[in-house]
Amino acid sequence: MKNAEAVKVESLLKQKEKYLQDKSNTILRHALSQTVISQVARTQDRVSEIDFSFSKEVKTMSATDQKRSGRCWIFAATNVLREIIAKKLGLKEFELSQSYIAFYDKLEKINFELEGIIDLLDRDHDDRTLTWLLDSAIGDGGQWDMFAELVKKYGVVPKNVFPETFQSSNTHVMSTLVDTELRKFAGKAKELNKTKGLAAVREEKNKLYAKIVNLFYSSYGLPPEKFDFEYVDKDGNYHLEKDFTPKSFFDKYVGEEVNDFVSIINAPTVDKPYGKTYTIDYLGNVVGGKPITHLNVTMDRMIELILSQLNDDEIVWFGSDVSYYGDREKGVWDDKSYDYQTPFELDFSADKALALDYGISTMNHAMCIVGVNLQNGVPTKWKIENSWGSENGKKGFYIMSDTWFKQYTYQAVVHKKYLTDEEKKAYEAEPIHLAPWDPFGSLAD
């Protein structure tokens, strides 16, 4: 680094002397020796404003639990679908199998990854696109459009038909092993293509794919081809419907409705003008499926669209960054409940556009909005259905302040019917292509 300045020991010693002159630093140092930084910065001044009272709530079922996996996007999306199914059948409680969706997501992602590697055979091993593809590999994360393509292709099943296994709820080791094989394939495929050509590469791909599929059969179990659906409705009446396939079950109770949802984002960055639609290269799971598509809208417009859906008693899938200003035990996300400025003289907040451009923040978790508190028509806080079990928050439900929502919410999925004609036209237009590493290519997990 030309003209770079080194740290001077003398300057550090002077800074230490200055630090010790302020006795509040001693108190702070003692506190931090026993407590996490976030708890020291936590303030109780907002307690009365952040409670679980809302002017509008959608009645929903019990919170779900993704356990030690990154399947939040699947859990949030199946929560949307189960509400659709429950209303049609009059169910008080119901849960779809997230493991069933995750199984096919893994198999599709592996094929997507292998085909991506083959598409980039002419690139050097340190090519940015190839290294991004190999780094992302087959983690658990995803986005709404990826979910929609899976259920349209494979259908859905009730949770009791395809329950969790230890591996489906604890995916880290399994995914790491498969990632290793995919990266090995990238190196081997490059050499095979040079010596024996593309046909040999595809033969090697098919062999590896078959072995990995067997690993997932062993890890997840065998997905059902047919099943009977029995349930008791909210009035206590027993029902039995025989000989469903996962696809026929989906077609009967959801079907084309899944195509009515569109992804909207709030990206206030210079490179993404509002009113335009975007897609991300080399991001997806189902080869040949609909590309991931986002319509960029202002935050005010995003709020309007979400409120429209809540007012129709339908919950909203959304993606946000839960890395900041959160209390998992109490179930609260609120930037105003933390004061880092007083103890540290540091303001960790950042302009939303700057945070996106410089990797400070990006979408990393999907949940469902199920309620809102309005004062004079303006939201002050939101009720969230999470997928971290029922032990934390209020039986698994969480709350976020409106200021946190505006700063850290990046994506929502709403019915197309709420869009204006101009917005519908923009959504259906040819999308602008973004690089794979664009922040809106991040996956919720």
Identified catalytic residue from 266, 296, 365, 373:
365
User: Residue 125 catalytic?
Assistant: no
DSSP-derived pairing of the beta strands 294-296 and 261-265: parallel
Collapse the DSSP code of 278 into the 3-class scheme (helix H, G, I; strand E, B; otherwise coil) and give the result: strand
Q: Are 256 and 114 in contact (CB under 8 A)?
A: no
Whole-angstrom distance, CA of residue 401 vs CA of residue 54? 12
Q: What is the CA radius of gyration of the chain?
A: 24
Identified catalytic residue from 193, 285, 373, 386:
386
211-230 per-residue burial string, b: 16 or more CB within 10 A, e: under 16: ebeebbeebbbebeeebebe
Identified catalytic residue from 72, 266, 285, 294:
72
Whole-angstrom distance, CA of residue 278 vs CA of residue 268? 14
CA distances (Å), 37 to each of 40, 217, 278, 295, in order? Answer: 5, 43, 38, 37
User: Residue 365 catalytic?
Assistant: yes
Q: Are 317 and 144 in contact (CB under 8 A)?
A: yes
Please classify residue 88 by burial: count the beta carbons closer than 10 Å to its beta carbon, then call 0-12 exposed, 13-18 middle and 19+ buried: exposed
Q: Which residues are catalytic?
A: 72, 365, 386
